[in-house]
Structure 1
Amino acid sequence: MSVREKIQNFESLTLIPEAAFSKNSLGRKIREDDDEIRTCYMLDRDRIIQSKSFRRLKHKTQVYIKTFGDHYRTRLTHTLEVSQVARNIGVGIGLNENLIEAIALGHDLGHVAFAHNGEEVLNEYLKDGFRHNEQSVRVVTKLENNGLGLNLTEEVINGILNHSGLGTIKDIITLEGIVVKYSDKMAYLNHDIDDSIRAGLLSIEQIPKEIVKVLGDNSNQRLNTLIKDFVKTSNENLMNGIRVVGLSKEINEAMIELRQFMFKNIYLGDTLKVERNKAKFILEQLIKHFEENPNQMPEIYLRIAENEDLQRAVADYIAGMSDDYCLSLFNKIFVPKVVID
């Protein structure tokens, strides 16, 4: 018996019947031989961590553009916090932790530089629009590994595709994917409040008192409330034969209200408007430059331009850039250099 088979047997002993068992995976688009040690979801997790797109997350903005403080979140630390929250929930319910981790680590690979500002620019640029969850799937299926993709399992790809927003969960094929969808919101709401307070742009007193009363007045309290409620509510549903995981009505409504508060006051508020406009200007100039000079893009994007179209290729190239790389490229292309005779 291989190590992988032992792990799969352990899954059958420890996970709830509604969990996604690795031995029953829907598989990959291109069939592969089983790994001797790792289950399919463990292999997916490792491929994501080893990808270039994952490494670039460390220099992609979460909310605050080009913040030099060491303690502000980046897209990478956000991803790790989502994984932490989701795994805690998954273990509490009895779901497949390896599948949860793979989805969580891959969910934001398609995010653009300069936080949601970059997404807005590309959404206006592409004729069919741009959504970072769809771009994350494009990264793992078409862009990574020099265009070959990572050949991930269907369950991981589905979880990545459907993680965004607070809308319907009917298209998510695993409970693990639903856990990551909720955990994404739990993580970013809490750490973005922390970062906003650290930046002096928000005070705890500004958060509506009815939300504080339900969720708590600091990050630890809020996360504890959300995680414990999710586990408790989900376990009660499952024990009663209801295949639903999620938050109780009261806690879910409080989280939605907190999300609306953050969008109004921080994400889309006037506080960061000047910096958002600067970021959009940089991205718009780079898009225009590479549309006019496509041969300056790497070979993989020239192939995309040939096989799909130039607009798609430019969008893929821009979407993969980190904040630092965008700034460096902008300076190289547009900022005059000092010439000494």
Structure 2
Amino acid sequence: MSIRKNIENAEKKILIPYAAFSSKSKGRKNKEEFDEVRTCFMVDRDRIIHSKSFRRLKHKTQVYIKTSGDHYRTRLTHTLEVAQIAKTIGKAIGLNEDLIEAISLGHDIGHVAFAHSGEEVLNSLLPNGFAHNKNSIRVLTKIEKQGKGLNLTNEVLNGILYHSGFSYSKKSIKACTLEGQIVKYSDKIAYVNHDIDDSIRAGMINQENIPNQLLNILGKTHSTRVDTLVRDCIYTTLNNIENNVKEVALSEGIENALRELRSFMFRNVYKGTILKEERDKAKFVLYQVFEHYYKYPDNMPKLYKDIVDEEGLYQGVADYISGMSDDYCLFLFNKIYVPKIVIY
């Protein structure tokens, strides 16, 4: 019996019935031989973490563009915090940690340079709009490995696709697995709290700015708030499962407090006036780089020129732009538009 089979058998003994079992995966678009050692979700985790697009996350903005400090989150450190929170919740409930980790590591692969400012630019330029969760799927299935994609399992792709949004609507589509639903909540728990931490460090807000009623519910420190949310998600979800409800959730009071804290961050930081000048600069840079390659698509690498031929100019340029790190986008902007010293 292979090591993979031993791991799959161990899952059947350890995980709850509602978990996503590796041996029962819906599989991949292109069938492959099974790995002798790793389950399908372990393989997916490894493919994502060794991908070029994952490595570029270290140079993509989370909130603060071109900071001089070493302690501000990047898109990569955000991703690692999401994975840590999600695995803690998943293990406590009895779900598949390998699937949770794969979804967590891949959930923001499709983010543009300069955080949501970059996403807003592409959304305004593209005829069909732009959303980073859908772009994550495109990167993983179409762009990686020079257009071959990583051939990930259905469960991982589904969790990545439906990790975004925080709508009150009961009609909003949830991930098909509890593991995917956990990543969605963990993403919000992570970024709301670590962005508060970064914003206090940056002097953008202070503890006294945060509504006191929210601190009384969630906690007055970063670690306390995360602990409150993680514990509540575990116990609320376990209660749902005991009542045969297959749904990850927070209790009503805790979820409302998280939503209000998130709204506070949107008003005061994400969409606030202090960062507006830097956001506008970032949008200007990205817009100009997009315009250049839209006019001169032959200047792009072959992979993206092939996409232009197959799927049109907008898609090819969007794929090239969306994969850029902040630093590379700024490098190209300077190369294209900033005059050079040519006479000494």
TM-score of Structure 1 vs Structure 2, range by shorter chain: over 0.9
Q: Distance between the aligned counterparts of 2:284 and 2:272, measured in 1? A: 18
Counterpart residue type for residue 247 of structure 1: L
- Residue 136 in structure 1 maps to residue 136 in structure 2: yes
Q: Distance between the aligned counterparts of 1:161 and 1:170, measured in 2? A: 10
Deviation for aligned residue 1:245: 1.8
Q: Distance between the aligned counterparts of 2:164 and 2:274, measured in 1? A: 24
- Residue 43 in structure 1 maps to residue 46 in structure 2: no
Q: Distance between the aligned counterparts of 2:127 and 2:106, measured in 1? A: 25
Query: What residue number does 1:243 align with?
Result: 246
Query: What residue number does 1:196 align with?
Result: 199
Deviation for aligned residue 1:133: 0.2
Deviation for aligned residue 1:238: 1.1
Q: Distance between the aligned counterparts of 2:153 and 2:111, measured in 1? A: 21
Does the CA contact (< 8 Å) of 1:169 and 1:178 recur in 2? no
TM-score, normalized by length of structure 1? 0.99
C-alpha distance after superposition, 1:267-292 (max 9, x if no partner): 01111000000000000110110011
Query: What residue number does 2:336 align with?
Result: 333
**Residue 219 (structure 1) aligned to one of 218, 222, 237:** 222
Deviation for aligned residue 1:324: 0.4
Where in structure 1 do 4 or more consecutive aligned residues deviate above 3 Å?
168-171
Q: Distance between the aligned counterparts of 1:146 and 1:331, measured in 2? A: 26
Does the CA contact (< 8 Å) of 2:162 and 2:173 recur in 1? no
Query: What residue number does 1:157 align with?
Result: 157
Q: Distance between the aligned counterparts of 2:144 and 2:27, measured in 1? A: 19
Deviation for aligned residue 1:169: 5.3
**Residue 310 (structure 1) aligned to one of 309, 313, 324:** 313
Over the matched positions of the two proteins, sequence identity in percent amounts to: 61
**Residue 297 (structure 2) aligned to one of 294, 298, 305:** 294
1:154-193 equivalences under 5 Å are 154-167=154-167, 170-193=173-196
Does the CA contact (< 8 Å) of 2:158 and 2:176 recur in 1? yes
Counterpart residue type for residue 76 of structure 1: L
Q: Distance between the aligned counterparts of 2:343 and 2:197, measured in 1? A: 47
Deviation for aligned residue 1:61: 0.2
Other structure's SS at 1:307 match? helix
Q: Distance between the aligned counterparts of 1:245 and 1:162, measured in 2? A: 13
C-alpha distance after superposition, 1:207-261 (max 9, x if no partner): 1111101001111000000000110111122122222221101100000001111
Aligned pair in 2 of structure 1 residues 232, 169: CA closer, same or farther (>3 Å)?
A: farther
1:3-22 equivalences under 5 Å are 3-22=3-22
Q: Distance between the aligned counterparts of 2:230 and 2:249, measured in 1? A: 10
Q: Distance between the aligned counterparts of 2:74 and 2:114, measured in 1? A: 10
Runs of 5+ consecutive residues of structure 1 not aligned to the other structure: none
Query: What residue number does 1:93 align with?
Result: 93
Other structure's SS at 2:231 match? helix
Counterpart residue type for residue 53 of structure 2: S
TM-score, normalized by length of structure 2? 0.98
1:264-303 equivalences under 5 Å are 264-303=267-306
Q: Distance between the aligned counterparts of 1:308 and 1:217, measured in 2? A: 50
Q: Distance between the aligned counterparts of 2:337 and 2:14, measured in 1? A: 58
Q: Distance between the aligned counterparts of 2:39 and 2:172, measured in 1? A: 26
Query: What residue number does 1:230 align with?
Result: 233
Q: Distance between the aligned counterparts of 2:248 and 2:193, measured in 1? A: 21
Does the CA contact (< 8 Å) of 2:174 and 2:181 recur in 1? no
Q: Distance between the aligned counterparts of 1:11 and 1:246, measured in 2? A: 23
Q: Distance between the aligned counterparts of 2:127 and 2:189, measured in 1? A: 32
Q: Distance between the aligned counterparts of 2:292 and 2:248, measured in 1? A: 47
- Residue 56 in structure 1 maps to residue 56 in structure 2: yes
Q: Distance between the aligned counterparts of 1:170 and 1:244, measured in 2? A: 12
Other structure's SS at 2:230 match? helix
Other structure's SS at 1:147 match? coil
Does the CA contact (< 8 Å) of 1:111 and 1:136 recur in 2? yes
Counterpart residue type for residue 47 of structure 2: R
C-alpha distance after superposition, 1:87-117 (max 9, x if no partner): 0000010000000000000000000000100
Q: Distance between the aligned counterparts of 1:59 and 1:109, measured in 2? A: 12
Deviation for aligned residue 1:170: 3.6
Deviation for aligned residue 1:144: 0.3
Does the CA contact (< 8 Å) of 1:73 and 1:195 recur in 2? yes
Does the CA contact (< 8 Å) of 1:22 and 1:39 recur in 2? yes
